């Protein structure tokens, strides 16, 4: 297989370029080579590379900024995946695309299933849902992998922010009434590679994605916590001379431009049915910080 990976300098894209080695010829591109806001460039790159499989972790991920840049967020998260799917169909290729827990409104009390009704409460979630729907409508072999609370040791994310603030402050006030599953970007990449290898061994990865195994899968760490619980665990593993106090607060005490779901937990049962497992969030965090 020739595999085109987008967003090679992002958290997940960087890890995918490593994890997918051995499964085919990897062509990894960053924003300089393929800017998802330039739809013509997206088409041109795909037509030039002629991949058998497109793996697309690149996205507009500035959740709060999306509220003031809805057109740009929609072009990157909604329209660009539509172009990728269209070009993949013409090539007879498949596409793996990453989505988000934010396609849900967070009112469900238990973990969300892939089949639960979507209802995003912010612009970012709406644009990511549009990308999902465009790929599904294109009639192309596909996997859509929904993940949540992504972190790693590069880029901008909650882990790095908490580590920085913990070294500067005596107290961290962190939202304690939003729940989800923190997911290490390396876990996402390694699980993706595991999934592709499993499908490829069956009948070829793209062929498998064209059959009953196609569709949406939740790909998050197992276990559930709050942002406050996540922060406490980060501080516990961090090498800080004097650890700050981590105090839980309500969502209303930390207003942001974009609404967040109260519950972002995603069920991993569909992946587990394929014997594909993602590590528990605490175990993954310890490995990441270790």
Q: Among all residues, which ones are annotated catalytic?
A: 124
- Adjacent-strand bridge partners of 180: 225
User: How far apart are alpha carbons 57 and 77 in whole angstroms?
Assistant: 10
User: How far apart are alpha carbons 101 and 188 in whole angstroms?
Assistant: 14
Burial annotation 153-176 (CB, 10 A radius, 16+ → b, else e)? eebebbbeebbeebeeeeebebbb
Helix orientation angle between 80-91 and 123-137, rounded to the nearest 10 degrees: 20
> Could you say which DSSP state residue 51 is in?
-
User: How far apart are alpha carbons 266 and 125 in whole angstroms?
Assistant: 15
User: How far apart are alpha carbons 263 and 152 in whole angstroms?
Assistant: 22
By CB neighbour count within 10 A (0-12 exposed, 13-18 middle, 19+ buried), where does 241 fall? exposed
User: How far apart are alpha carbons 67 and 216 in whole angstroms?
Assistant: 26
SS3 of residue 257 by DSSP: coil
By CB neighbour count within 10 A (0-12 exposed, 13-18 middle, 19+ buried), where does 12 fall? buried
Per the document, the length of the chain is 290
């Amino acid at each position: 297989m020739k595999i085109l990976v987008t967003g090679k300098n992002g958290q997940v894209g960087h890890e995918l370029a490593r994890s997918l080695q051995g499964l085919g010829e990897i062509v990894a591109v960053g924003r300089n080579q393929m800017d998802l806001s330039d739809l013509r460039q997206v088409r041109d790159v795909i037509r030039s590379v002629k991949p058998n499989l497109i793996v697309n972790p690149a996205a507009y991920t500035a959740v709060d900024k999306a509220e003031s840049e809805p057109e740009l967020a929609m072009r990157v998260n909604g329209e660009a995946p539509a172009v990728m799917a269209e070009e993949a169909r013409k090539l007879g290729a498949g596409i793996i695309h990453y989505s988000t827990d934010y396609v849900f409104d967070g009112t469900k009390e238990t973990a969300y299933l892939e089949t639960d009704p979507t209802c995003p409460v912010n612009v970012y979630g709406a644009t990511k849902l549009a990308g999902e729907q465009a790929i599904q409508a294109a009639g192309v072999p596909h996997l859509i992998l929904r993940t949540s609370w992504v972190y790693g040791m590069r880029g901008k994310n909650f882990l790095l922010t908490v580590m920085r603030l913990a070294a500067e402050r005596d107290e961290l006030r962190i939202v304690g009434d939003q729940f989800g599953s923190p997911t290490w970007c390396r876990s996402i990449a390694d699980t993706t590679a595991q999934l592709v290898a499993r499908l490829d061994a069956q009948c070829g990865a793209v062929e498998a994605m064209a059959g009953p195994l196609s569709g949406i899968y939740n790909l998050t760490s197992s276990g559930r916590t709050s942002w406050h619980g996540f922060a406490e665990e980060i501080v516990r593993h961090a090498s800080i001379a004097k650890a700050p106090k981590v105090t839980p607060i309500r969502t209303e005490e930390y207003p942001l431009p974009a609404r967040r779901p109260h519950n972002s937990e995603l069920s991993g049962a569909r992946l587990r049915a394929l014997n594909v497992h993602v590590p528990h969030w605490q175990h993954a965090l310890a490995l990441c910080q270790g």
